[in-house]
Amino acid sequence: MDLPIVYHPDYVVPLPEGHRFPMQKFRLLRDRLLTDGVADLHQFHQPEYSPTEWLELVHTPDYVQAYCTGTLDPKAQRRIGLPWTPALVKRTCTAVGGTILTAELALEHGLACNTAGGTHHAFPSYGSGFCIFNDLAIAACLLLQLGHVQNVLIVDLDVHQGDGTALIFQNDPRVFTFSMHCEVNFPGTKQKSDLDVSLPIGMEDDAYLKTLDRYLPDLLTQVKPDLVLYDAGVDPHVGDRLGKLALTDSGIYRREMQVFNTCLAYGVAIACVIGGGYADDLAALVYRHSLLHRAASEAYQHWRL
């Protein structure tokens, strides 16, 4: 068995030319993994469309209905930052299903990766920052409801604080939220995660990795999670236009290996989503996202999962 990877063609939908969110990166990521021999076609799994009852484990029925029917008010739509279309609704619900499937595959095989996901700025009653429904939160809630897990640790290493996720679980002891992010960046108003680690502008590889090592092993000991949901945003990269940190490609790869080796050494399953990443050089951005899957493939073989 090779590393399970989740992808669906509906991850890619057309957006207006020049839009800041590069939706095509999801297809290009899959193609890059195949072209570079990181993955074979048999490793890819297609998720199902998320039904309303899954979405409403986290989000209010009014918000879910308004978004899915295209009746969300213009101000709320602008806060999301993505133009509403029926195709985007389908894509969004499929991507949530992708993270759920990734989590299920991780519980079965020890490690699995999505080629999308990480919409951590979505709150129960509204979306924000290119995030419509909070896939990490929905996956955690569904697995808890089904009894597949008892405790979940969310490790959010996107450069932006996982504010929506933090608020959703602030009174739920079954889910521990850990966000390590740039201190001066979106969102302007931070929420309170169970553990927030704010990083100074310009932090480079070695300092970043030492900081992560200071916290992650202790969290695994303290929380004793059945599953880690890992948001592997590449926007801490020095070339990211929304980042403000200074990690290199090597630093991103080392970060992924550090997360995998630490969690797997503790015997904890890991489900990964790609999180944020924004760059004018789309090929370079896709490569950065692929570092997650390259590291995961190496860790999967090393640990003989």
Evaluate whether 250 touches 294 at the Cβ level (below 8 Å).
no
Q: Does any domain span residue 130? A: yes
- pLDDT digits over 234-277, tens only? 999 999 999 999 999 999 999 999 999 999 999 999 999 999 99
Distant-in-sequence contacts of 22-26, Cβ < 8 A, 24+ apart: 22/278, 22/282, 22/285, 24/282, 25/277, 25/282, 25/285, 25/286, 25/289, 26/115, 26/116
Please tell me the total number of residues recorded for the chain in this structure. Answer: 305
Q: Does any domain span residue 18? A: no
Q: Does any domain span residue 80? A: yes
CATH of the domain at 230: 3.40.800.20
- Count of structural domains within the chain: 1
Q: In this model, does residue 34 exceed pLDDT 90?
A: yes
Helix (H) or strand (E) holding 231: strand 227-231
- pLDDT digits over 182-237, tens only? 999 899 899 999 999 999 999 999 999 999 999 999 999 999 999 999 999 999 99
Q: Does any domain span residue 4? A: no
Six-digit token pair at 170? 């602030």
- pLDDT digits over 147-176, tens only? 999 999 999 999 999 999 999 999 999 999
Sheet holding 44-45, edge to edge: 44-45, 5-6, 111-114, 269-273, 227-231, 152-156, 175-182, 195-199
Q: Does any domain span residue 17? A: no
Q: In this model, does residue 68 exceed pLDDT 90?
A: yes
Burial label, 163 (beta-carbon count in 10 A; 0-12, 13-18, 19+):
buried
> What are the two backbone dihedrals, phi and then psi, of residue 178, each rounded to the nearest 5 degrees?
-125, 120
- Tell me what pLDDT residue 245 has: 97
- Tell me what pLDDT residue 188 has: 87
Which structural domain, as residue segments, surrounds residue 111? 29-302
Evaluate whether 15 touches 82 at the Cβ level (below 8 Å).
yes
Q: Does any domain span residue 6? A: no
Evaluate whether 235 touches 275 at the Cβ level (below 8 Å).
yes
Cα dist. 76→86, 87, 129, 185, 238 in Å? 17, 19, 11, 21, 31
- Tell me what pLDDT residue 110 has: 98
Q: Does any domain span residue 7? A: no
Evaluate whether 166 touches 191 at the Cβ level (below 8 Å).
yes
DSSP-based three-state secondary structure for 280:
coil
Residue reference for tokens 């709150």: 123
Q: Does any domain span residue 24? A: no
